[in-house]
Every structure is written in structure tokens, then in C-alpha cells.
A and B are shown apart, each in its own frame.
Chain A
Amino acid sequence: MIGKVFRFYYNGFRSMTWGRKLWRIILIKLFIMFAVLRLFFFPDLLKRDFSSDEERGNYVLEQLTNP
């Protein structure tokens, strides 16, 4: 069964013509998004800067009450 599914996908990808270009675009895009943008430009700030939900809550509370 798994072999059959694998062959289905494998043959599908192999016999692609115009689809290859699309896959290249998808992969480049995903690379830029996750390996460049996410890593270097878009950290999840609250996750990065605080270690617990309590600290995160306190920080946002501070922002909301002392804007």
C-alpha cells in the first residue's frame, strides 16, 4: 500500500512537464519565507523574549495599562 502511494507520487512528479517550474517556485518561496523571513526578520517576540505565559501576560498588561 505504502509502496503504491509512493509510486503514485513519484511517477506523478516525474512525468510532470510545466508543473516542475511551479515546484521550483514553491520551494524557493518556502525557503525565503521560513529560512530568511521567519528566522531573521519575523521572530515571535513574546515567545522569544519571555519564558512563561505569565510573564507574557504581565508584559502585555503593562502595555495596555501604561501605553
Chain B
Amino acid sequence: MFESIDMSLVDWSRGQFALTAMFHWIFVPLTLGLSFIVAFMHTIYVRTGDEEWKRITKFWMKLFGINFAIGVSTGIILEFEFGTNWSNYSWFVGDIFGAPLAIEGILAFFLESTFVAIMFFGWNKVSKRFHLTASWLTAFGANLSAIWILVANAWMQHPVGTVFNPDAARNEMTNFWDVIFSDVAVNKFLHTVTSSFLLASVFVIGISAWFLLRKREVLFAKRSTVIASMFGVIAAIATIATGDTSARIVARKQPIKFAAMEALYEGQTHAPLVAIGAMRTDTTKLPNPREDFIFKIEIPNALSYMVFLTPSGFIPGITDLVYGNTEQGYMSYEEKIERGAVAIQTLKELKKAKERGDEATYSALREKFSDPVWLDEYYKHFGYGYYKGRELKELIPNVKLSFYSFHVMVILGGHFLIFSLIVLWLSLKNRWGNHKWLLWVALITLPMPWISSQAGWVLAELGRQPWVVYELMPTITAVTRLKPGAVQLTFWIFLATFTVLFIAEIKIMVTQIKKGPGGK
């Protein structure tokens, strides 16, 4: 199947989507996190009546505003792309991306455009309490508006709470709560939000460090740092805890992504965790997997322990998953491909029977799509059917990218925790700012949470390949058959527009930062 698809179309469509999503993700986490830090600072001002806290709140609110204005609605471009470049996919996912996303979008728009305006224009115009409420509602509104898109993404990683309607070729929601409260969805939301708080904390600490280095606005910078480092410590602990749960969930729900992010080819009990490693560039993948590292430092038993809380837990490697391991209960991909092909054939026959008006055959086939045993035996592997006659290695995500993105995220996560603990400790002792080199570390650390946050998405999305909807819809089926040239053109248009916007963001931010909290 799929001999005819132009892979450059798939690559350009993916590249375009990745570009848009990653650009969008520059702004979102800062909006999510900074909104809460601002609301917190605003609360201190209202409680104490101290004018310095007002200046502090106003300054960070201003940076929040710049980021919000430039980032707002860049996410809508992703929806355009669903409709044009991923039309099969957007039809197939049905309810999940439809109404709830639209309702949320409209709600968030009204909530935010009301409260953001009150937050900015409300100084001395509305009561202090109402003004403060607007700041908090802006923060909650921003974070709430991230829920459904993350739920939808979680559903793509682990489709639950829906049933496939073979007549309409789409998934229909059968249980809203199963969709929204699946462990993947809940944890994804928590990991995303907490890591965004962490990102914003590091941002505030970094910019404050710049003021301290220049010996400007020292009280402002120190107070900002105390708040941000408190946020930072809590957020770093929460990010690591939710990240750890994420990894455990991935191990159970998407074992091949888990094997890829640890570059584990041969499954084992007492599996070690690679703490640091560098992979060879000349990897030979299947069918002869071999040791892939130039060097690595391992923590013995840690991987088995992380997933099963016991060292004797068996972690399947890529080979076990692809070729099957009957002893451990893993079905081979060959078998899954056969079963998936049966499911696709059944769908095809159902369509034909309907067109012929052959009621009896149609009813018999239609029944299968509501028979739990058939669904579990065949439909569950639907997507694999498209790989009949193709190479098995196409079913393995990019191991190097998965490995590095995971390890970069985790190593930086450790750095953020230690860093915020040191900053908080020194701030509370009123010694933050005494060591110039530490201020430099803060400044250098500033962009790093963006790297880990983007790495997190790279892992989540590239580690899911070749699927857009896990094991049901491969990326190659999801894409619209357009001319690759048309997709290339929009790719370059986006790249140009985004570059201009990004430069504008940085320029306006830097100008306002330089003006400091006193500037107009």
C-alpha cells in the first residue's frame, strides 16, 4: 500500500506543521507561567499597598502583554493546516478536534479579551479587588484554554472514549470523561503547565539578574527574584514528578517510544537507565540491531525500577516489540500488520456492500465494528495494515531524536531544580546578587527552558511516529494529497512571517526591559 505517495509531500507537510507548532510554543509557555507570577505579585501589592510592588507587577505585566500580543492566535494557523494539509486526519478524529476546541477557543477569547483589558487598563479605574480578580482570571483563563488542545493531543497518543463509525469514517465520542480524564491527558496537562511555570520563573530570574549585573533597580530585581525562585522550586519539583509519571505512562501505552527514548534495542529485566550517552552516527537498525553508543553512563536497574518500581520488571526493547516476544506477551509487528490489513479490508468490503445495496453483507460487516472482541483483535491494529509490503523499520520512531530530546529535557530539568534552589536560598539570605558569576549563570540559563520545552514536544510527537493517531492512523494516510510545491511555498511564507514576528518580539521586549520598571 501507499507505493504512490510522494514522501517529499509528507516531509514538507510535517515540516510545515512542526515549524508552526514550535513557533507557537515559544509564546504559550511564557503566557501560561508569567500570568500566574504577575497575579501573585499583584496580590502582594494589594495586600501590602507597597508602591514598589506595584511597579514590579506593572513591569512584568508589560512583558506578559508583549508576549501575549505577539503570540496570540498563532495557534489558529495550526487549525488552518488541519483543514488544508491534514484533511483526512481532521475528518477521522471527528468530535475530538471539532466542537469542544471551537467552544473553548471562543470562550477563552472572550474571557481573555475582557480580563486582559481590565488587567491592563484597570489601574486606578476599577476597584483594587476587582482589578486583582481580573489578573487572576487572566491567569486561570490562559491555563484553562490550554486544556482541550492538550486533551486532543493526548487522545492522539492514546485514543480512548471514542468509537469508530465506519459509515462516516470518523471517531465519535462515547465517553467525554474517559477522553478528558485519561491518565495521558491529565498528566500531559500537568506536565505542560508545571513546566511552563518553571520556564516563566527562570525567565524572571534571568531578567532580574541582568538588572543586578548592571546594578540597576536592585530592590525591584531582588524582590522579583524571591517570588520567581519560590515559583521555580515548586514548579521544578512538580515538573520532574509529572515528567516521571509521563515516562511511566509512555512505557505502558507506547512501549516503542519508551524504548526509543532510551535507545534500548534488546529488552531485559534489571534494565539500566542511560544517564548520559552519545550515539553513533552510523547506526544500522533492524534487522541487525547492535550497540548504538559511542559512550554511555548508566544507572543500574533504574529503568526497570522507574517503570515497575522493582528491578525485576521487564522492559521490552525495540527488537522485542518489532519481532515479538511471546514469552513476555508482545505480538510481532508482522502479526499486527496482518490483523490491521484484515480490518482495512473489512472496511473496504463494508463500503462496497453499502454501495451495492447488499443489506445482508453490510449488516454482517457493520456488526463487527461494534463487536468488542473483533475490535480488540483486528481494529486495534488498523493502522499497521497500511504497512503491508513496506519495510518494518518504517514503524520505528527516530531513535536518536527521541533519545536526545528526552535526555536534554531531563538533564536541563535537573539543572533548573538545583539552580532555583540555590537562587531561593541566597535570596532568602539576602545574598543573591553578591556573586557576579551566579548572575551570569542566571542569564545563560534564561533561554534553556525553551530548549527543554521544545525537546519535550519533539519527544512526544516524533516519538509517536509513524502514527498521527496511535496505531490507528499513520501520518502517510493523514496527509492531504497536495502538490509538494504548494506546501513548500507556504512553508517559506511562514518561515518569513514568523522570523519577522520573532524579531519584533525580541526587539520590543528588549526595549521595554532596558527602560526598566520606571519606563513609560
A and B interact: yes
Chain A residues within CB distance 8 Å of chain B: 8-9, 11-12, 17-19, 21-23, 25-26, 29-30, 32-33, 37-38, 41-47, 53-54, 56-58, 60-67
CA distance A33 to B386 in the complex (A): 35
Nearest A-chain residue to B520, judged by Cβ: A17
Starting from the known contacts A26-B72, A41-B493, 7 additional A-B residue pairs (CB-CB under 8 Å) come to: A12-B120, A23-B69, A41-B490, A44-B84, A57-B167, A57-B169, A65-B344
Q: Contact flags (1/0) for B487-504 with A, using CB distance below 8 Å?
A: 001100100010001001
Q: How large is the interface on B (under 10, 10 to 19, 20 to 34, 35 or more residues)?
A: 35 or more
Residues in B whose Cβ lies below 8 Å from that of A26: 69, 72
Q: Is the interface of B mostly helix, strand, loop or mixed?
A: helix
For residue B81, which residues in chain A have a CB less than 8 angstroms away from its CB?
A: 42
Query: Does B117 count as interface, using CB distance less than 8 angstroms?
Result: yes
* B489 proximity list for chain A (CB < 8 A): 41
Task: Verify B84–A67 contact, CB threshold 8 A.
Answer: no
Chain A residues with Cβ below 8 Å from B508 are 18, 21-22
Closest 9 CB pairs of A and B: A12-B121, A44-B83, A42-B80, A65-B348, A22-B69, A57-B168, A61-B169, A60-B169, A42-B84
Contact in complex: B80, A46 (CB < 8 Å): no
Given the complex of chains A and B, what is the CA–CA distance between A64 and B81 in angstroms? Answer: 20
Tell me the complex Cα distance, A37–B5, Å: 26
Q: Which residues of A contact B80 (CB under 8 A)?
A: 33, 37-38, 42
Q: How far is the CB of A13 from chain B (nearest CB, A)?
A: 8
Residues of the B chain whose Cβ atoms lie less than 8 Å from the Cβ of A33: 73, 76-77, 80
B87 within 8 A of A: yes
Cβ–Cβ contact B520 & A46, under 8 A: no
B223 within 8 A of A: no
CA A25 to CA B75, docked complex, whole Å: 16
> Residue of A at shortest CB range from B352?
A65
- Most chain A CB neighbours (cut-off 10 Å) among B80, B120, B504: B80
Specify which chain B residues have a CB less than 8 angstroms from the CB of A29 in the assembled complex.
Answer: 70, 73, 501
With the chains together, A63 CA to B90 CA distance in Å?
A: 13
**6 contacts across the A-B interface (CB closer than 8 A):** A22-B70, A46-B91, A56-B91, A60-B92, A65-B347, A67-B1
Judge whether B332 is part of the interface by a CB distance below 8 angstroms: no
Min distance, Cβ B328 to any Cβ of chain A, angstroms: 32
Inter-chain CB contacts under 8 Å: number: 108
Main secondary structure of the interface of A (DSSP, over half): helix
Q: Does any Cβ of A come within 8 Å of B128's Cβ?
A: no
Q: B residues within 8 A CB of A62?
A: 351
B301 at the interface (CB under 8 A from A): no
Pick the contact of A60 from B65, B76, B88, B504 — CB < 8 Å? B88
User: Chain A residue with minimal CB distance to B504?
Assistant: A25
Q: Decide if A57 touches B497 in the complex (CB within 8 Å).
A: no
Pick from B117, B167, B169, B493: contact of A64, CB under 8 Å: B169
Assess whether B92 is in contact with A11, with CB atoms less than 8 Å apart: no
Which of these, B66, B84, B476, contacts A22 with CB under 8 Å?
Answer: B66
User: Which residues of chain A are within 8 angstroms of B477 by Cβ–Cβ distance?
Assistant: 63-64, 67
Verify A12–B117 contact, CB threshold 8 A.
yes
Closest B residue to A49 using CB positions: B87
Contacts of A9 in B (CB 8 A): 117, 121
